[in-house]
Amino acid sequence: MTNRWRNRFRCSMSLFSCNVRTTRFITFTTTKRNSSQSTTCKLRSSTWQDTTPVTIPDNGMMSSTSLSHRPKRKPNGLTKADREAMKSDDLLKRDFHSDAPLEKCITDITEIPACNGKLYVSAIFDCFDLSVLGLSMGTNMKADLCIQTLENALTAYPTLEGAIIHSDRGTQYTSESYRQTIREHHIHQSMNSAGGRCHDNARCESMWARMKTELLYDRYDTSQMTVEELKALIWRYFLSYWNNRRICSANGGLPPMIKRRQYYEALELVA
């Protein structure tokens, strides 16, 4: 192997070129002893159907070329669980499909930094059409924020009583004040399974990511905006644009309120 290629492979790495039937495993190993380099290359073909991603160790080569296999930030959940609080069962079990409105709902809190503090946004989404049923924002994420979100949803949709509302295991949702509000309106509380797995509330997490991607990222520098400015922006996005005008592939290309209206119109025709 020429010096040009020897210098290029200065780290040990594993490269996978795989399809469903055949996997080729190539290992490049370069060592430096007494100012001389020796390079070995092994090629092995075998049948293998596991396509598990492989982590390539960074020994300087990736850093020098501005490549990174590490996440930009360490994941850090916003809400924290109270280990001693009573938890509700996971009634959804990652099944976010609903055949009718106001039967299955999901809720969560997200955080947006501002120039004069942090804005916490709490929302309740309907699994039927992904519409926003209730929305509340504040500068703290105490249980009162979630209670206000629930009360806003019940004001707009009184028939929400009796529905399932799924959340994570944050202290806001396990607090006695929140549970009391749930019981008063005969709502069935559902929570993530043991271990606090975020995938148990993946639909709600994806809603936050979608909102931030479409509304904030590469459009606004929230660190230069006030909390009140962010509030107005998010209110308009969810209650005006999202509910009434944004097309959703999960709704067959229809905005949430259009799908909901068609559902009730179909019921009237049947009646």
Q: What is the pLDDT of residue 213?
A: 95
Q: In which element (H, E) is residue 266 found?
A: helix 256-270
Please list the alpha-helical segments (H only) found in 13-94.
Answer: 61-64
Q: Residue 199: what pLDDT? A: 83
The whole-angstrom separation of Cα 246 and Cα 193 is: 32
Which H or E run contains 138? strand 132-138
Helix (H, G, I), strand (E, B) or coil at 159: helix
Q: Which residue positions in the chain have pLDDT lower than 50? A: 5-51, 54-56, 58
Residues 28/9, Cβ–Cβ less than 8 Å: yes
pLDDT of residue 271: 67
Determine the pLDDT at residue 269.
Answer: 84
The pLDDT of residue 175 is 93
pLDDT reported for residue 23: 40
Q: Judge whether 26 and 41 are in contact, CB under 8 Å.
A: yes
**Confidence (pLDDT) at 95:** 93
The amino acid sitting at 174 is: T
Count, residues in the chain: 271
What pLDDT, on the 0 to 100 scale, is given for residue 60? 57
Would you state the pLDDT for residue 14? 39
* CB atoms inside a 10 Å sphere around CB 259: 19
11: burial class by Cβ within 10 Å (0-12, 13-18, 19+)? middle
Task: Look up residue 236 and give its two tokens.
Answer: 């308009």
